[in-house]
Amino acid sequence: MASSAIYTQEKFLCDKFDINSVSSLSLFLYDHYSFLTAKDQNGKVLAVNVQTFSDLEELTDLLQNDDLYQLDLPTKVFVHNSTFSLVPGALFNTAFLNTYIAFAGDNTNVSTYESALQSNAIHLVGGISTDSYNKLVQGKGSVQFYHGAVSFLSYCLNEKPNLLNQEILIYYFDSHFYLAAFSNQELMVFNRFDAFDKEDILKYIFGVIQQLNFNRKLCRINFFGDAESMEIDKVWGENYFKNFKISIPQSNIHYHEGPDKILQSPAFESRWEFI
- CB-CB contact of 223 with 244 (8 Å): yes
- CB-CB contact of 126 with 113 (8 Å): yes
Dump pLDDT digits (tens) for 142-167: 999 999 999 999 999 999 999 999 99
Separation in Å, CA 86 to CA 101, 181, 192, 233 = 9, 14, 12, 31
| Rounded CA separation 1/30 (Å) | 11
Q: Per-residue confidence at 65, pLDDT binned at 50, 70, 90?
A: confident
CATH class entry, domain 158-246: alpha beta
Q: Where are the beta strands (DSSP E) in 118-197?
A: 122-129, 143-147, 166-173, 176-183, 186-194
| Sequence spans of domains, the chain | 158-246
Dump pLDDT digits (tens) for 213-269: 999 999 999 999 999 999 999 999 999 999 999 999 999 999 999 999 999 999 999
**Enclosing H/E stretch for 198:** helix 198-211
The strand pairing partners of 190, in sequence order, are 180
Answer whether residue 3 shows pLDDT above 70: no
- CB-CB contact of 122 with 89 (8 Å): yes
Separation in Å, CA 36 to CA 4, 49, 59, 195 = 19, 5, 12, 25
